Structure 1
Amino acid sequence: MNEFNFKSLGETIRSIIVKLEITQKELADGICSQSQISKIEKGEISPYIDTLLKIALKLGINPNYFINIIKKEQYEFITNSKNKVREYTKKKDYLEVKRLVTILEKHQAFKNLEEKQFICWHKGIYLYYLEKDSSKALEKLEEALNLKNSIQATDQDIQIMNSIGIILGEENQWEQAKMAFFHAVQIFKDSLSPMDITILVKLYYNLSKVFYKLQQSKEALEITNKGIELAIENESNYLLGELLYQKGLILADTGDISKGLDYLHQASSIFTIYKNEKYLNITQDKILLYRKDSYLQKVENIY
């Protein structure tokens, strides 16, 4: 590790100390000497891992934050840049994704293997949506999966697998998409380290959609329920509206229109709260459609 990284760590610790309005002596108490804290702040020494952990705990900071600052130069820049690319990917603004990726690929901060994998991953995404070339896109995503030096799969690896499944689905290769999502779910569950639970929620949602397209309603409903339960257990609203919508759709299409409408109304409420106009409109259209179907069924039963 080079001097720059430890200087960044020291500057970060100093900034937190100032914001918390505590002294070096107060931070050092029960951990190390005040002079050691001073040297850490100046980037003159590298702290022992147990010292760094104790400092992080005392400051109320996730230790991984400090470790990443040590490991990666310009950590804040990398994190913010990645978040921006993910934001535009979520918005489906693939021209902006391409523009950002092209710039970041040349930046020195993105020469680490993890960042190279991130760039390659998003190249695969914009290649598909801008050039409509699924073969080239999938080839690029497989290349991204091979850009790693860890034995276990990382969060980023599993998200790349998710992207592969999505593109296979877009190409109506539903069985291959199902296998891709199942594989990603299994790797997530087998991981020995904690992972971002929203990734598993996303995989369940996408897998449910595949089962729905394959007209395997029982399996689709089972996977949807797993996603809903996982989101609720973790007090997360991530994709909860979409999962409730999916459950309503499955129930209504399999004949239980009343229950299906209940879940569609729940989804509508979430989309309203989060001002998700696109999904709100889609959900409300479905509610009107199933209400009409329900009414026609009642009329038929009368006669």
Structure 2
Amino acid sequence: MATTIIDFATAVTVLGNNLKARRQALGLTQQALAAGLCAQAMISDIEKGIDLPNASLLTKLCERLRLPHKQMLKENYPIRRLPSFSDKVHRLYDQRRYVDLKTYMERPGRLQVLTTDEDLKAYYYYYGCTVYQVTHDATVALQSIRTALTMMLPQHPQRYRTLEVLLFSTENYMTAATADQPNYDGFERALTIIREQRLIDSSQNICMVFNQYARICLMQGQPQRAIRLLIEGIAWADAHESDYMLADDYALLVQAHAMTQ
């Protein structure tokens, strides 16, 4: 069940519980985790939800707990008609070699052989995200993301694929990142699908939706809303036994806390 906690004290408790669980899963003592970083008492207070690490300490704790930052997709989406092309797209994307990926995807003849909606959705998703990373031009990147969304047939199904939910979120993220007063329709549509458990292929990539939405809320000066979303995202990850995006979510929690002070 989705968590709808709104107070920051509970958010800190959830953070502490997750860090403790991760530490124990790795077989580390509090003393071993703290060594060279902080006092053991600080680790104890963090795990109990009494204290919150600053951004620098949190980053170091996540590194020691092997919780990676700024992760790419946990699970990639295949372009089945072109398996070798698909593999290279995934490899370049995971390596953040966006300029090389943009050049590779723009080689002539690729789109002509992609005949299924699923292949086209995957192609345009990766291409749109890549264009955004290379050019930072949301208007151009959105053309590809919205083209991918036109491949979703019917447009309002009872159940959705994870990639489609990511497309709603990514479209809203690109739009809102450059808007003075953005709406959150795409994010809310994605969250409704998640909360109502209307996913065909539930994937750890869902964690990205909560993180993207929270980032936009912070950009728009809405830290309390961001905290609620991050707690829900962490709860979703816990329920699905995933540590995907947790380090990023925790980092945003620290940022949100600083904005509330």
Aligned residues: 181
Which residue of the other structure, out of 111, 125, 128, is the alignment partner of 1:124?
128
Q: Which residues of 2 match residues 40-55 of structure 1 at below 5 A?
A: none
Provide closer, same or farther for how the CA distance between residues 188 and 97 of structure 1 changes in structure 2, counting only shifts above 3 A: farther
In structure 2, the residue corresponding to 1:175 is in which secondary structure?
coil
Find the aligned partners of 1:76 and 1:110 in 2 and give their Cα distance. Answer: 6
Find the aligned partners of 2:208 and 2:181 in 1 and give their Cα distance. Answer: 17
Provide closer, same or farther for how the CA distance between residues 243 and 233 of structure 1 changes in structure 2, counting only shifts above 3 A: same
Determine whether 1:199 maps to 2:205: yes
Determine whether 1:209 maps to 2:215: yes
Task: Work out whether residues 160 and 198 of structure 2, in 8 Å CA contact, stay in contact via their aligned partners in 1.
Answer: no
Q: Percent identity among equivalent residues? A: 15
**1:33 matched residue in structure 2:** none
Aligned-residue Cα RMSD (Å) equals 3.1
Which residue of the other structure, out of 164, 173, 177, is the alignment partner of 1:157?
164
Residue type at the aligned position of 1:102: E
TM, length-normalised to structure 1: 0.51
Question: Once the 2 structures are TM-superposed, how far is the Cα of residue 162 of structure 1 from its aligned partner?
Answer: 2.4
Find the aligned partners of 1:145 and 1:76 in 2 and give their Cα distance. Answer: 19
Question: Once the 2 structures are TM-superposed, how far is the Cα of residue 100 of structure 1 from its aligned partner?
Answer: 3.4
Question: Which structure has greater helix proportion?
Answer: 1
- Asked which structure has the greater RCO (Cα within 8 Å, sep 6+), the reply is 2
In structure 1, the residue corresponding to 2:130 is in which secondary structure?
helix
Residue type at the aligned position of 1:213: M
Task: Work out whether residues 211 and 217 of structure 1, in 8 Å CA contact, stay in contact via their aligned partners in 2.
Answer: yes
Q: Which residues of 2 match residues 1-303 of structure 1 at below 5 A?
A: 75=80, 78=83, 81-82=85-86, 84-103=88-107, 106=110, 110-150=114-154, 151=157, 152-173=159-180, 175-176=182-183, 178-190=184-196, 192-255=198-261
Residue type at the aligned position of 1:228: I
Task: Work out whether residues 184 and 203 of structure 1, in 8 Å CA contact, stay in contact via their aligned partners in 2.
Answer: yes
When structure 1 is superposed on structure 2, of 161-170 and 123-132 the one drifting more is 123-132
Find the aligned partners of 1:114 and 1:238 in 2 and give their Cα distance. Answer: 24
Provide closer, same or farther for how the CA distance between residues 197 and 180 of structure 1 changes in structure 2, counting only shifts above 3 A: same
Provide closer, same or farther for how the CA distance between residues 168 and 174 of structure 1 changes in structure 2, counting only shifts above 3 A: farther
When structure 1 is superposed on structure 2, of 81-90 and 193-202 the one drifting more is 81-90
Provide closer, same or farther for how the CA distance between residues 82 and 160 of structure 1 changes in structure 2, counting only shifts above 3 A: farther
Task: Give CA deviations for 1:176-222 in whole Å, capped at 9, x if unaligned.
Answer: 3x332222222333454443342331111111112222222221111
Find the aligned partners of 2:147 and 2:111 in 1 and give their Cα distance. Answer: 20
Provide closer, same or farther for how the CA distance between residues 106 and 217 of structure 1 changes in structure 2, counting only shifts above 3 A: closer
Question: Once the 2 structures are TM-superposed, how far is the Cα of residue 131 of structure 1 from its aligned partner?
Answer: 4.2
Structure 1, gaps ≥5 residues long:
1-71, 256-303
Task: Work out whether residues 113 and 147 of structure 1, in 8 Å CA contact, stay in contact via their aligned partners in 2.
Answer: yes
In structure 1, the residue corresponding to 2:242 is in which secondary structure?
coil
Task: Give CA deviations for 1:216-255 in whole Å, capped at 9, x if unaligned.
Answer: 2221111111111222222211000011111122223323
Question: Once the 2 structures are TM-superposed, how far is the Cα of residue 75 of structure 1 from its aligned partner?
Answer: 4.9
TM, length-normalised to structure 2: 0.58
Find the aligned partners of 1:132 and 1:233 in 2 and give their Cα distance. Answer: 34
Deviation >6 Å, runs of 4+ = none
Task: Give CA deviations for 1:131-174 in whole Å, capped at 9, x if unaligned.
Answer: 44432321222121011335443222122222212322442456
Which structure has the larger Rg over C-alpha atoms? 1
Find the aligned partners of 2:143 and 2:193 in 1 and give their Cα distance. Answer: 21
